[in-house]
Structure 1
Amino acid sequence: MSERITYQQFLYKHLRDQPGLTTLLESISNAAAGIAEELSRISFTGPADPGTVNLHGESRHHMDQYAETLFLTALSESRACFAVLSEEQTEMIQLTSALSQEAAYIIALDPLDGSSNIDVNIPVGSIFSIYDRFKTASPSHPAAVLQDMDGHIASGYVLYSTTTMIVLALPGLVTGFTLDSANGGFVLSHANIRIPDTGNIYSVNDGNYHDFDRGTQNYIRFCRQQKEFYERPFTARYVGSMVADIHRTLLKGGIFLYPATMALKEGKLRLAYECRPMAYIVEQAGGRASTGSKEILDLPLRSPHQRVPVVIGSEEMVNTAKRLLNACLPVNCEAHV
């Protein structure tokens, strides 16, 4: 039997010179374990209130607030986090722990991605990116370090499903840890994750097909017609929880698209706490992430909840998608900026 390596042991080995970051990542895992436990009891707590919406006008499950509160509490108690940009808040939250002024890190956080799927028992997740606030000339202004990737340290997501997993991306290394519920901790289960160079799974909300621009429609038709060019066709798989769709893509290869539509000309997914962290994870694993015309990690953050289209996955598939997406009519190409 291979050696059992805990999440903490991994962090101490790879981040021994960054104790604050280790503490911060441990606090994230503690919050994730608490969220997983609460989700396991969700059938007994009743369905979400359909009349509740968040600041983006999207349905809000009571677990959204629960998850955010758990993360904020854990991050504050870590004394390593200076501020948090959360999907659930209009502005950045500066934490008030006693050592907050010395805390080096700022987190962009989606506390519970895909929460509209909870009541039908579909996997959901949490997404985060960590930045060093002292990498900017304005460390007292938390938003400054989020403007670009210069201060970025790490990204990750938590998948709450048949098992609960943390996938953590450090420079050049993507690693997965699975929650051992019997012992209450995460254990290394997926070492050095590498996304396949190509795949045969495409993931997109096909119901929006007629609202996509010409280039996106062309690529979807290309995916549908692969049987004409290869021995087997591409397969469509779309969960509707970004973490679940990206996790499958990361492990099996493929491509995930959330394009702009006529109604959402800048896309739906947010750059800071959805697209950037997922792009970083996939690229550190050997994949690629784009808006269709620009690299996700090259985009400056202009506003806390900025939206962008996203095309992410196996390098070969993303490259092919970009060629077809950029063949769209000039009037519609603005949607990919």
Structure 2
Amino acid sequence: MQRKTLTQFLIEQQRAGDMTADLRLLIEVVARAVKAISVNVSKGALAGVLGEAGSDNIQGEAQKKLDVIANDILIQANEWGGHLAAMASEEVETIQAIPRDYPKGGYLLLFDPLDGSSNIDVNVSVGTIFSVLRCPGDCQTPTEASFLQPGDDQVAAGYAVYGPSTQLVLTVGRGVHGFTLDREMGSFIYTHADMKVPEHTQEYAINSSNARHWEAPVQRYVAELQEGKTGVRGKDFNMRWVASMVADVHRILTRGGVFMYPMDEKSRSKGGKLRLMYEANPMAMLMEQAGGAATTGRERIMGLKPEKLHQRVPVIMGSRNEVERVTGYHNDA
């Protein structure tokens, strides 16, 4: 039986009327950039790409060499194709305009070029996250305001996880689909059809070193999980924490669970830890398309109207019943 490639899958989606030709080509370009990033990640020390870049990003965080490399790969791959009006990267303060000598299209691309980059030097999974919006109004001169659309307006979202194999997981609003990179063929192969988040779970992902800073609803929820079979939940839970959102969310999307980076006293002044436009919205779209849920603890993430390009929010996402339980605790409080 012939294996279906990403290109074949996307063409079928286009023929079914689920996406335009330009959106299909845009996703293919992002996938090619992901392959290039995967090569650099896999070479590691052999290519001299580990360690600090000697610069900070807009968040004030020290950049790794691979942060810069991945950002450049995504920009260079996407700026000339004619599908985009502009781009925005978590690593850069302002939007990335399309050079004047290149044609412009009707879409906006946002991305976190290398999520979890603190794991690079210890050879633990990292990833890339992306989100696609339609460009409103004049697509010849888009501004930062053009990007400030709620997550519900996304036309596509996805991530790549660079682990033992490189996987690309995406949605165009008709379910969630996974592809695995065949390194010999150089193609993404359709390996995970119509992915669904399991409803019932015994796993959760949270940075427990911040426990003393959590709000009461999160402390209540996690305490219940830790009580195990003798507690109100009547079963044991395992905690898993990779410190790479892509890796943690990919595990939950595959076998269920809840991922939490909630509001706490350390991040309150910033509005939260994770970036709404580059991380929370695209991952929330994937979770909802897979039958899960995603909230800030108090409201649905994709219903938020962004106020600025690098806005941060608390994030709770995963199996619907668990997300609704911890969100209910916030509402009770």
TM-score normalized by the length of structure 2: 0.93
CA distance in structure 2 between the partners assigned to 1:82 and 1:30 by the alignment? 19
* Change beyond 3 A, Cα 1:320–1:80: same
Name the counterpart of 1:71. Answer: 74
The answer to whether the 8 A contact 2:295-2:315 is kept is yes
User: Structure 1 residues 150-159 or 292-301, which shifts more?
Assistant: 150-159
Name the counterpart of 1:124. Answer: 126
State the one-letter code of the partner of 2:307: R
CA distance in structure 1 between the partners assigned to 2:257 and 2:90 by the alignment? 27
CA distance in structure 2 between the partners assigned to 1:213 and 1:161 by the alignment? 33
The answer to whether the 8 A contact 2:158-2:171 is kept is yes
The alignment partner of 1:278 has SS state of: helix
The partner residue of 1:162 within 148, 161, 164 is 164
* Change beyond 3 A, Cα 1:97–1:9: farther
Q: Once superposed, what is the RMSD of the aligned Cα atoms? A: 1.6
The answer to whether the 8 A contact 2:53-2:65 is kept is no
CA distance in structure 2 between the partners assigned to 1:150 and 1:257 by the alignment? 21
The partner residue of 2:308 within 288, 303, 319 is 303
Name the counterpart of 2:292. Answer: 287
The answer to whether the 8 A contact 1:145-1:151 is kept is no
The partner residue of 1:260 within 246, 253, 263 is 263
The partner residue of 1:111 within 105, 110, 113 is 113
Residue 39 of structure 2 is aligned to residue 47 of structure 1: no
Name the counterpart of 1:332. Answer: none
What percent identity do the matched residue pairs reach? 35
* Change beyond 3 A, Cα 1:173–1:97: farther
What is the aligned residue count?
A: 324
Name the counterpart of 1:10. Answer: 9
CA distance in structure 2 between the partners assigned to 1:3 and 1:194 by the alignment? 24
Q: Which runs of 5+ in 1 are unaligned?
A: 329-337
Name the counterpart of 1:92. Answer: 95
* Change beyond 3 A, Cα 1:46–1:81: closer
The answer to whether the 8 A contact 2:293-2:318 is kept is yes
Q: Which runs of 5+ in 2 are unaligned?
A: none
Residue deviations 1:35-90 (CA, integer Å, cap 9, x gap): 11111111221631285432212221100110011101111132211111100110
* Change beyond 3 A, Cα 1:263–1:150: closer
User: Structure 1 residues 114-123 or 222-231, which shifts more?
Assistant: 222-231
State the one-letter code of the partner of 2:176: V
* Change beyond 3 A, Cα 1:251–1:96: same
CA distance in structure 1 between the partners assigned to 2:68 and 2:224 by the alignment? 41
CA distance in structure 1 between the partners assigned to 2:277 and 2:65 by the alignment? 23
Name the counterpart of 2:173. Answer: 171
